[in-house]
Each structure stands twice: as C-alpha cells, then as structure tokens.
Amino acid sequence: REGNSIPAPELDALKQALVQEQRAVVIQKASAEKARRSTSCLQAFARTLLQSLNQPCFQINREGKVVLWNTGMILWTDIGDQEAIGKEITQLLPTFLSTPLLNTIREASTQAEALTHAEEITPTHETLSNDDDFESVAYTAIPLLKVPGCVEGCVILLDIV
C-alpha cells in the first residue's frame, strides 16, 4: 500500500507539529494550574483581609446569598457568621438596605457582560436612609469578577452613619 503512505519529509513535519502541539498543551495546563493557584491565594488573602476589618463588611454571591460575614457585621447585626453564611441577604438586613444591594449586583452583572477588563467595573457608592428609625448606612459595593464578563458576587463595605 505504498500509494497511501506519507512521504518521509511530510511525516517528519507532522511529527514535529504533533510534538509542538503536545508541548503547547502541557504549557497551557501548567499556566492554567498556576493561575488557579494564584487566584486561590488571592482569594484567601482577600478573605483574611475582610475578616480582619472592624468595619462591617460582607460578601454576597450572584444569587444574593452571603459568602462571608465579618466581625463588624456580627457586632452590628448580632447575627453570627455561621448563621449568616448561605442565607439570602434579604433575610439578614432591612429592606431599605438589602434591596439596593441586590440591584447593585444585578447592575454590575449587566455591566460586566460588555467588558473585557476587570478594571473597567467601578465600585458603587451610595448612602441609604431608613426613615423609621433615622438610621443611615453608606455602602461601597465592589463587584468581583470570576472572569472578564462574569460577576461572581460583590464585597460590600458598610459605614453606619
């Protein structure tokens, strides 16, 4: 079946292309693993940083469920972190605060879909008032991108006025 055989130079070229492709796959896997480890380290650092703040701070996911609840939140709400984690923010905070926060994460998700760079999403700053007890809460919502165009959640920093 010599009519079906590949000439030696073309066979060598195919072998070289295959070897280069295999190397590229190995490099991509190594890069992906390195990026995963870096992301994991950054997430651990951010979690530690947020937990150490005295300022009330929490993190919610895209569905509005609490992922992180720091000591400042525990002191302000009298709700422990184990009780808060996994619950919807609407179950934990007054409506005058929880509704705008959920709207903020929805707006960030919409904004992120059109972006290619994380630095293009800007934090949201707003002050909200509860007319019933004259309490004001200023907040900063920082969207967290899993990858460009995909909001994973928001970190919320509160300033009780």
Strand partners, 106: none
pTM value surpassing 0.85: no
**pLDDT, tens digit (0-9, with 9 covering 90-100), for 123-152:** 777 777 776 665 778 888 777 766 655 667
Asked whether the predicted pLDDT for residue 20 surpasses 80, the reply is no
**pLDDT, tens digit (0-9, with 9 covering 90-100), for 26-56:** 777 777 777 667 667 767 777 788 888 888 9
**pLDDT, tens digit (0-9, with 9 covering 90-100), for 82-104:** 999 999 989 998 888 888 888 88
Q: Which residue has the higher pLDDT, 159 or 84?
A: 84
Q: Which residue has the higher pLDDT, 157 or 39?
A: 157
